Structure 1
Amino acid sequence: MSANDACVIVGASLAGAKAAQALREEGFDGPLVLIGDESERPYERPPLSKGYLMDKDGREQIYVHRPRWYAEHNVDMRLGTAVTAIEPAAREVTLADGNRVGYGKLLLTTGSSPRRLPVPGADLERVLYLRRVEDSDRIKRAFRSATRAVVIGAGWIGLETAAAARAAGVEVTVLERAELPLLRVLGREVAQVFADLHRGHGVDLRFGVRVTEIIGSGGAADGVRLSDGTRVDADVVIVGVGITPNTGLAREAGLEVDDGIRVDERLRTSYPDIYAAGDVANAFHPLLGKHIRVEHWANALHQPQTAARAMLGRHDAVYDRVPYFFTDQYDLGMEYAGYVEPGGYDQVVFRGDVAGRAFIAFWLAGNRVRAAMNVNIWDVNDQLQALVRTARPVDVDTLTDPQVPLESLLP
């Protein structure tokens, strides 16, 4: 087969590995090239801030496939290899060593990178970010010797690393510009649950603060300066202030980029025969009627199946799964289904015991469930996703009554 028959995947991530698997399962038997700039074979990222970070999961548990899977399925995997350019007219990608790889179909699963903190001292030693497995290893080592940690940012990564630090016996201060953790994602009512959770485990939460400098001596951080002049001491500083989609290759190639690589419901970009999936994809979602970019594991797991089918010309390949994510912090586990932007709902209502952290929260707009989150209540997320998908009006009293089976609310 010629290069024009090849499927090339740029990004040896969970999404990239799952796309390679899906292409083979869908019957593609042509040349398949998986290119990644990391030296590790594809792995899953959620354990890096959860079980792997806390030494509950071993290293082998994070990988998508066993080592021999790629050779057994004739996947030409090239690790430690950066792609420097995409040339749509020539249907080629250029590698850092100058070699070129031709493609018939190209899938971009380039993911995202941690947003850097733009303050003096951000480049000091012991200022750590979490994205790759070696980052998680560095944070683990820091927790073994640290007494005090400062976490900048009270998003998912910040809160999960704070929980891991507390499990390691480290004193933790979390610094957040907003009034509550996860405020933009969850809203005030549910964000307060996570604030209470962390305070109950001894975390010093400081809201409405702004970091102006990371301070240190001998080239290593030993504290953080706030805008009011307050110094917060630390043996390690972990920065979790969001991620930025890796769109540089796509932008330079002339693909449409808008908060990620803009793709349709089939995950096709603005260029023929180029697709995108995972963190980097800003995809049109048929259920929501607009483009969204979801930065969570479930998209990286499931979107590649749609992308692979679309690359092979399957006309029924449409990605319309209800957005989903999960977290585990201390004794709280939760799953979230749906998608609600700030101001996109009228009210949040609860079913169950909020104080005891065993409940379901519903975000409603016009008496329709836009999103739902089960906290320490299990085997209900399929029903919650179905409620979101149906978008039928619900009676709030019935919705919030634990005695009423969720199944009875479905058509």
Structure 2
Amino acid sequence: MSSTEHVVIIGNGVAGITAARHIRRISNKKITVISAESDYFFSRTALMYVYMGHMKWEHLKPYEDWFWEENRIELKKAYVEKIEPASKMLFLKGEEKMSYDKLILATGSVPRFLGWDGQELKGVQGLVSKQDLELLEDNTRNCKSAVIVGGGLIGVELAEMLHTRNIPVTMLIREKASWQNVLPLQDAEFISRHIQSQGIVLKHETELKKINGTNGRVSSVNTSSGEEINCNLLGVSVGVKPNITFLKGTEIETDMGILVNPHLQTNIPDVYAIGDCAQHREPQNGRKDIEAVWYTARMMGETVAQTICGQTFKYKPGHWFNSAKFFNIEFQTYGLVNAEPGEDEKHFHWENKEGEKAITIAFDPATSKFLGINTFGIRMRHEVFDRWLTQQRDLEFILRNFREANFDPEFYDRHEKEIFSSFKDQLANSQT
């Protein structure tokens, strides 16, 4: 294989840049990263802190600008309009062309809109890209009030951002509580109470029906309860979808995302897909076929780099984990805690009297095997839970050794008796 083989990566998010870095580490291939979003790779999870004034744009770049030239990774700011796999050619906006030997698609996600009347009005937007944040600056310059549709992570982040600018926020949440499509109801209600305590108005079991405008700009929304709410901004947070519209008409097979095998290969030779835009044909047990999460994007970048450099690897994400923040409460999850558990999954839930810390543990009621845990306001050690999941420990072991997994050992000393007592009560109630 020639050392001058040209690898082109479309997308400079964590998936694409991780692939580029690892390909460079183990090969001398020519690497080009194309992105229309930004000149340099930046930490997308920190976008909100720029708006909130905690960070500046330059703080979002994990690498100095000289890093790319020194590591012979060419960065090109351009928009790919079309891919022609037969000739291995990319057509860029402005009639420029670029050839490739290997192509990695790492194009990420875009906000999902549901076809509401008025969604094209100014002041209606999602929050995924650098351009979205710049648009938010414009849209909130003279904003008197805002509505957010959707109770997921992006919606909570957006609410917190607007809250720091003293913009009143109302959130429309279709479910009984925040993020209930992902979290068990008790956890979702815990989050809803916390968000409400910050001064955010939550309207549960409420859907957006219509967006009204004045002079081309959003002025109010109508809800499923018949209410009209005035607003100058409508934040859309009903999920994201893979950014793949530019692939329409190509031979590359897509469904919701770009279909890939366990080696992250598409149906076209020498074309791969990683990160938010990839859809696994054979998702691992308990995992979703599309996982728009930072750490899985990074792992896919590492995996595809090995394959492209001649060491064919299968993508093995291991045990599921994730983390997020709901205002100032940190959320962590390890293993699988289903929002709606079946007969082979039972939940133990505990929260402190102040309503600022909570735990939900999922286990198999027949064997007591530990399945997963959600924690709120309690920082846990990833490597410990990862080991316990691999060892298939039982619930009693988890409760008795909770101190080992906790960054704050005093937490368990303070709450051990209460947690065990709560578990026994719940167990007794479930058996009566």
Do 1:287 and 1:389's aligned partners in 2 also have CA atoms closer than 8 Å? no
Do 2:110 and 2:242's aligned partners in 1 also have CA atoms closer than 8 Å? yes
Partner deviation per Cα, 1:152-186 (whole Å, 9 max, x = no partner): 11111111111222232221110022221111111
The yes-or-no answer on 1:325 pairing with 2:325 is: no
Deviation (angstroms), 1:398: 4.3
2:55 aligned partner? 57
1:108 aligned partner? 105
Partner deviation per Cα, 1:20-57 (whole Å, 9 max, x = no partner): 1111112x2121111112243222221123x2232212
Task: Give the gaps of 5 or more residues in structure 1.
Answer: none
| Aligned-partner SS, 1:65 | coil
CA distance in structure 1 between the partners assigned to 2:86 and 2:125 by the alignment: 40
Task: Give the gaps of 5 or more residues in structure 2.
Answer: 407-432
TM-score, length-normalised on structure 1?
0.88
| Aligned-partner SS, 1:164 | helix
Select between 141-150 and 82-91 the one with higher mean Cα deviation.
Answer: 141-150
The higher radius of gyration belongs to: 2
Where does 1:8-407 land on structure 2 (aligned, <5 Å)?
8-26=8-26, 28-49=27-48, 51-79=49-77, 81-140=78-137, 142-143=139-140, 145-250=142-247, 252-283=249-280, 288=285, 292-316=289-313, 318-339=315-336, 342-345=339-342, 346-350=345-349, 353=352, 355-365=354-364, 367-390=368-391, 392=392, 394-395=394-395, 397-401=396-400, 405-406=404-405
Amino acid at match of 1:72: E
> Residues 290 and 377 of structure 1: is their aligned pair in 2 closer, same or farther, counting only changes over 3 Å?
closer
Do 1:344 and 1:365's aligned partners in 2 also have CA atoms closer than 8 Å? no
Do 2:125 and 2:234's aligned partners in 1 also have CA atoms closer than 8 Å? yes
2:422 aligned partner? none
CA distance in structure 2 between the partners assigned to 1:336 and 1:290 by the alignment: 14
Aligned residues: 402
Deviation (angstroms), 1:349: 2.0
Select between 341-350 and 310-319 the one with higher mean Cα deviation.
Answer: 341-350
Partner deviation per Cα, 1:249-277 (whole Å, 9 max, x = no partner): 44533233233122223222222221111
Do 2:121 and 2:218's aligned partners in 1 also have CA atoms closer than 8 Å? yes
CA distance in structure 1 between the partners assigned to 2:130 and 2:353 by the alignment: 35
| Aligned-partner SS, 1:120 | coil
Deviation (angstroms), 1:191: 0.7
Do 1:4 and 1:104's aligned partners in 2 also have CA atoms closer than 8 Å? no
CA distance in structure 1 between the partners assigned to 2:316 and 2:247 by the alignment: 21
Do 2:32 and 2:74's aligned partners in 1 also have CA atoms closer than 8 Å? yes
Do 1:163 and 1:198's aligned partners in 2 also have CA atoms closer than 8 Å? no
| Aligned-partner SS, 1:252 | coil
> Residues 375 and 251 of structure 1: is their aligned pair in 2 closer, same or farther, counting only changes over 3 Å?
same
| Aligned-partner SS, 1:23 | helix
> Residues 389 and 137 of structure 1: is their aligned pair in 2 closer, same or farther, counting only changes over 3 Å?
farther
> Residues 273 and 60 of structure 1: is their aligned pair in 2 closer, same or farther, counting only changes over 3 Å?
same
CA distance in structure 2 between the partners assigned to 1:4 and 1:94 by the alignment: 21
